[in-house]
Structure 1
Amino acid sequence: MKQNYLSGLVLAMAAAMPASALSAQPLRVEQLQRCGDRLQAEVQEFCLRVTGLGDSGWQARLNGTPLKQQAMEYQDGQVRIQVKAAEAESGPLWFEQDGQASNPIWLSLNSSHVVAATDQEVVKNMDGLTTYVDLISVIIEESHNGAKESRRLAEKYGAQVVGAIPPLNTYQLRLPATNLDERDALVLRLGSEVSVDAVVIEESGAEESVESETAREPAADDEEWASNRFLDAVNFYQRRLPREGGDIETHPIRIGVIERDVDFDSPDFADYLGDCRSGGPRTCVYARDADQPDGHGTTVAGVFAAAWNGGGNSGFLRGLDKVGPGFEVIVERNSDAGITANIAASVNLVEDGVRVLNWSWGIHRVGAIDINGKEVDSLVRSGIAMSGYEELLEEFFLWLRREHPGVVVVNSAGNASSYSGRDEYRLPSSFVTDQLFVVGGHERSDKDVAVDDPEYAIKRSASNIDMRVDVTAAACVLGSTKEKGQRGDVHCGTSYATPLVAGLLAAMMSIDPELEPEQLRMLLRRSAMTIGEEYDFEPVEADDLTAPILPSERANDLNHPDVGRSARLDMYKALDLAVQSLERVR
């Protein structure tokens, strides 16, 4: 059995740090991963890295209930806890000591967990991409018992089952391979097994960044988000949906954000510490703590939930707190095991009641071509890896449609000036399903025109395009900062347009939780403003930004000026249509 990498890393860091430094640090949970026997469902073990925690006098709470001290072990910043699944539910976990409370982190008691490779367990392949040497996943055919069959395969090939995504009949194996030749030989043999649908090879480094792009100064007076009527939408929700005395009852919605961590030292997130649920309905954020406020996860989560007038960003759902039902934003990535971990985390979150998944990530196949005919050179994967990912994503969306038809996934179109909908080039945006929304990015133009004018915003040059894109949204946002009142750096990319749409869909669901994915898309498209020129349903010089607006999306008016143009998010009108739709049902 290999030594637990996380445990060794934590112990080494703690040993080099004086006790006074530990006590001076704020109480923060920086890491949580399933450990021990990951296939054990009855009693689950979790390993956490917690900074600022003293040797005694501390308490951990899960869903507000103190965990028994005998179920926890603590040594030099690492906490190992045991939870009996029959006696607890998934929920926020946090630590308390000497009047301090840590950031709450989501602990899922569901069964999907995968292992990430260490630096010693990855190499470069022929394409120059980092790939796992001895960790692969097998998708077992539906006609077989996945757990039983994976154990049989492991015994046959001298492997070990170390992770699983049981709802997708997917199991992670550690192979007896020390190089790529040995791995590929075993992959070929496993792939030829009658019971194996596909083999997933992971190509990612332990800390590889996801889609992001930093750029110019934003337009003055928050005109980027004005292009989507952000403040108008917040004002409408506050005015039309009062918590007391209103004629519409709103409903709490849970959002899953597939990201690594959030900086709780930033003023944007400083008041999310401890028991966020106490004191009445409000937006809550559960996440691992990050070192710096300018990380990808902090910025994406900030679009949902950053405090207003705090540390740079302003979250849409946070703006609804005065009247809203209480939104829960769960930032979770399972482990650093790349796309496989993203799917494992997504499955757990959906089983924990998440209605909206935010996927601000995506990958291109090696050899993908952008709109200028040049090869895409970022976030690329080999053909064999893409084939495995495609099968895994297909299993996920089939499971989602079968078991959780009311859940929606909102995915960034990508930042490679390429095509979002070509399945031979890009995942996951190329999947065609009612439950997947794809978001492109735009920026403020230099034209002095009204906000509803098609020329108010222009396509962001890096944004991926084509018919698979449902809508564009503002791509540039101010990041969070360390100091209150400071102006954050600009972050641009479809990663940050995506949570604008995901947050809006969550708000629409809070108005009417019975809205189905195809109805949400219909309302989103009917409410959309336009962007760009009219293309008569055919892409011209590869500039068709989204699927063109159809006559059916404009009351069947063939002569409507919006018909044939690309769609730009209108958050205010979408909320208004959601309310109108609810009133018609009544």
Structure 2
Amino acid sequence: MYRSITILPALLTLTLATFTSASADSLRISHLQRCGNLLDPNTLHYCLDVNSSGKTPQVLFNGEALPAPSILQTERGLQLRLDVDQPSGPLWLELDGEQSNPVWLSTRRSHVIAATEEEVATNQDGLTTWVNLISLIIEEQHDGLQEAQRLAEKYGAEVVGAIPPLNTYQLRLPARHLEQRDALVLRLGNEVSVDAVVIEESSPEEAAERDKPAKPEDAGREWAANRLLDAVVYYQRRLGDGDIPLQPVRIGVIERDVDFDSPDFADYLGNCRRDSQRTCVYARDAESPSGHGSTVTGVLAANREDPGSSGFLRALDDAGPGFDVIVERGSDGGITANVAASVNLVEDGARIINWSWGLHRIGTMDVNGDPVDSLVRSGVAMSGYEELLEEFFLWLRAEHPDVVVVNSAGNGAAHSGRDEYRLPSSFVTDQLFVVGGHQRSKGKTEVENPGYAVRRKTSNVDMRVDITASACVEGASSKRGEPGEAHCGTSYSTPLVAGVIAAMLSINPELEPEQIRMLLRRSAMTIGPEQDFEAPDGDDLTAPILPSERNNQINDPDVGHSARLDMYRALDLTVKSRGRVR
């Protein structure tokens, strides 16, 4: 078990930066994250940037307006003070009849800071790396905070961030160039109390994993390959009468922001939970609808006139129990920030975490023997990330065994399960689902035919991939009725699987991760040629369907093929599973 520090602050302080206006009528929150002394035992500090007219808005947290004594106007903006007993929840602003986008304010303690442009350098591999910010994973038998502070004092560093449940603490080193950093990393790594040192190799504003741009026609008909509309109609008609009680489900999406000026998300402003049955989105506001976060979130929650192009969970609103989609990354602190935000979301009740990101090690070869050049990291960085992710999944198994993480297989046309060359999809744990990407074939066949869809050429493959889903999607638009940019990649396959898992858990919240995997695989349609059950080659999209996944019928025609998501049948099997899961 991990020893973690529980810090009970006396009050919560929230600092709001100066208000500006992106347009005459918009009131938006574009930035919210912890700031100040992250280890302060008495207060939590947050910095919040918004767009407004320069007036002081009313601040609402967990549905209630903060009283005037809790709001202080300063030269820099506003300072809010909240009772620490309040749980995490949505925060939004109201001003002159306008409401801002709601953001999720977590009162949990995991957060790391990001490097500035002046704190990064280019290493010998030509990669951007952080010069003076590293994280220490402290051995579990030690008090992590005390040991991190002891080491910081010993090496002239400062503890500036923490992920207490993982006994991980971020240090600012007294290093001005990479030679000094590497020397300190080597010495810290040799300390008996240090399990691993995590260095970051990413730009301060690096985008999440993405594929090559898609052609506009790629996105329009893709979801038919996963029977999305059939699933929507089934959920509404089979479950809308109330015979089966449905449970709300919370989904955490590790992304930066969402464009609330897009009509896809415009009706999520203000108190989204005014209707207990609707889907809600909590996120920072983005400047453009074409961003990665808007597209990933749109697969779950885009609001469009055509149900076939709406986000899956949004399309269930008439019958659904109320899905919370929390878009949260904490900071631009690299992979460590992704993990810190995931820890907070799990502690805030998320049953599903969507990871539309991943990394390749330098030297990774694709299925054709060519080097992969997308999102590569050095071996030193990959070893630190691997240790951090291992700590996360060990903690998840020990403390939150009912939570699942849905991860993109990657877009390098490489092997997703080779742990030395790909993270995090290479981890083998019941709680991690890995999703590959497919696109519609040009042939005219029935949807159940294995040739109805083909692997997207850039999608990573092999037996570690659990299932494939549609890789191409229409992105958010800036105007109602106009199509958005088309996007393709396993980043967008992943929320399709996360969404159907959320629907499954709303029907049967007792499902355990391995049971969810079993239902997804049993319900899956096939894709691609039959495999030989030997070591995977370039044609093996996923782990082959087994006889045990087809009622032990060894001659079933599906056996040996790769698995393609069938959203309709997954829901049908989930309904039938009620009463059988103990």
Q: TM-score, normalised by structure 2?
A: 0.94
Q: CA deviation at 1:75?
A: 5.7
Q: How many Å apart are 1:10 and its aligned residue?
A: 6.4
1:5-46 CA-to-partner distances (Å, cap 9, x unmatched) read: xx99967xx7xx7xxx57825100000010122113542111
**Partner secondary structure for residue 411 of structure 1:** strand
Q: Which residue of 1 aligns with 2:330?
A: 334
Distance 1:203 1:553, change over 3 A: same
Contact residue 522 and residue 550 of structure 2 kept, 8 A: yes
Aligned residues: 568
Structure 2's unaligned 5+ residue stretches are 1-13
Distance 1:486 1:23 in 2: 21
Hey, what does 1:37 align to over in structure 2?
37
Partner of 2:129: 131
CA contact (8 A) 1:268 1:306 kept: yes
User: Is structure 2 residue 201 aligned with structure 1 residue 203?
Assistant: yes
Tell me which residue corresponds to 1:246.
242
Equivalent residue, structure 2, for 1:185: 183
Q: Which runs of 5+ in 1 are unaligned?
A: 1-6
Identity %: 65
Residue equivalent to 1:108 = 106
2:91 aligned residue (70, 93, 114): 93
Could you say what secondary structure the match of 2:197 adopts? strand
The corresponding residue for 1:215 is: 214
- The answer as to whether partners of 1:50 and 1:78 remain within 8 angstroms in 2 is no
Residue of structure 1 in register with 2:296 after alignment: 300
Deviation string for 1:110-142 (max 9, x for gaps)? 000100010000011111111111000000000
Q: Which amino acid aligns with 1:98?
A: D
Helix, strand or coil at the partner of 2:272: coil
- CA displacement at 1:237 relative to structure 2: 0.3
CA deviations on 1:358-416 (whole Å, 9 max, x unpaired) are: 00000000111111111111101111000000000000000000000000000000001
Alignment of 1:417-432 (within 5 A): 417-432=413-428
Find the counterpart in structure 1 of residue 146 from structure 2: 148
The amino acid that maps onto 2:45 is E
Q: Distance in 2 between matches of 1:407 and 1:119?
A: 36
Cα shift readout 1:279-309 (whole Å, capped 9, x = no counterpart): 3321000000000001000000000000022
Match of 2:380 among 377, 380, 384: 384
Match of 1:441 in 2: 437
Distance (Å, rounded) in 2 between the aligned partners of 1:505 and 1:312 = 19
Partner of 1:65: 64
Normalised to the residue count of structure 1, the TM-score between the two structures is 0.94
* Equivalent pair of 1:310/1:485 in contact (CA under 8 Å): no
Give the drift of 1:314. Answer: 1.3
Q: Structure 1's 76 and 291: CA in aligned 2 closer, same or farther, altered over 3 A?
A: farther
Aligned to 1:174: 172
1:240-266 CA deviation, whole Å, 9 max, x = no partner?
A: 001xx5321000000000000000000
Residue 317 of structure 2 aligns with an amino acid whose one-letter code is: D
State the one-letter code of the partner of 1:85. V
Shift of 1:320: 0.5
Gap change, CA 1:320 and 1:300, over 3 Å in 2: same
- CA shift for structure 1 position 535: 1.2
Preserved contact between residue 352 and residue 403 of structure 2 (Cα < 8 Å):
yes
Q: Is contact 1:45-1:83 (8 Å) kept? A: no
Residue type of the partner of 1:231? L
Rounded to whole Å, the distance in 2 between the matches of 1:201 and 1:492 is: 30
Q: Please tell me the residue identity of whatever aligns with 1:580.
A: K
CA contact (8 A) 1:305 1:317 kept: yes
Q: CA deviation at 1:583?
A: 4.7
Give the distance between the partners of 1:366 and 1:10, measured in 2 at CA.
40
In 2, are the aligned partners of 1:312 and 1:479 still within 8 Å (CA)? Answer: no
Change beyond 3 A, Cα 1:89–1:8: closer
Is the 1:43–1:83 contact (alpha carbons within 8 Å) kept by the matching residues of 2? Answer: no
1:312·1:488 contact (CA, 8 Å) conserved in 2?
no
Matched AA of 1:176? P
